Amino acid sequence: MIETTSPAPDAPATPSPRSIVYRLWNGAIPAAVCDAVIGAFDEEELYDATVQLSDRPVEVLSDTRKTRHTFVDPGHWTGSLVSHFAHLANLLWRFDVSGLGTLSILRYEESGRFAWHVDALTYDTTDYGALGEGLERKLSVTVNLSSPTSYEGGDLEFMNSTGQLLAQPQLREQGSVVVFPSTVGHQVTPVTAGVRYALVGWMVGPPLR
């Protein structure tokens, strides 16, 4: 497992948990399980993913985000993969989370990408049914489902609080899981060949105070 922190001059020997940008487990999920996740969904069920910028309505903006996806019931067995690693990571950050709010499978085809963004929503907090109302995204989880030899490009990259680019080649390993606060800036670089699949989810909880 890798923990990445934002470097700072005269940093203490033990960094604050808030300085850790993400936690990464390399190849934690077996390839057979990753393939089973991909196989659990019909490609015909996937549709163009949308974005919401500031106060604009939800829309498809292919110059910002170009991928196909479908939302999955958080109670689906794939949700347990996301929740398990989210709770492990949250032993460090200790965010107040209510549970897994949203789950999605993504398919990045050639030229697919997602420009720099954060997952924390800027509009009103959302009703997550049984979990409660007025909740917001706290933790983001990405599981890389594809073999690194099956696609080129499509790298998940992060930006720390000082504007430094953080890129980890281990993120390309099939079955790798990365968990990060939903306020952290990140992007998926354009896929230049092949197809990349990812399972993503967001742990939600009461608004930060």
In the chain, where the domains are located: 19-205
First to last CA, the chain: 30
Q: What's the pLDDT at 54? A: 59
Average pLDDT, rounded, for the chain: 87
Supply the CATH classification number for the domain 19-205: 2.60.120.620
Query: What is the predicted pLDDT for the residue at 64?
Result: 81
Radius of gyration from C-alpha coordinates of the chain: 16
In 3-state terms, what secondary structure has residue 143? strand
What are the tens digits of pLDDT across the range 60-93?
A: 666 788 999 999 999 999 999 999 999 999 999 9
Quote the CA–CA distance of 191 and 198 in Å, as a whole number: 13
Identify whether the C-beta of residue 106 lies closer than 8 Å to the C-beta of residue 96. no
Q: Which two tokens stand for residue 96?
A: 């107040």
Higher pLDDT, 5 or 195: 195
Contact 69, 107 (CB under 8 A): yes
- One DSSP character per residue, 28-53 reads -S-HHHHHHHHHTS-GGG-EE--B--
Residues of the chain with pLDDT > 70, as a percent, come to 85
Residue 2 or 29, more confident: 29
Query: What tokens were used for 109?
Result: 């085809």
d(CA 61, CA 113): 11
Q: Report yes or no: 89 and 25 within 8 Å, Cβ to Cβ.
A: no
Res 169: pLDDT: 81
Where is pLDDT greater, at 82 or 161?
82
Over residues 91-107, the pLDDT tens digits come to 999 999 999 999 999 99
Higher pLDDT, 136 or 5: 136
Question: What average pLDDT does this structure show over 133-161?
Answer: 93
pLDDT (0 to 100) of residue 19: 81
Answer with the residue of higher pLDDT: 14 or 90. 90
pLDDT band at 23 (very low <50, low <70, confident <90, very high): very high
The structure tokens 């015909």 sit at 44
pTM metric for this prediction: 0.87
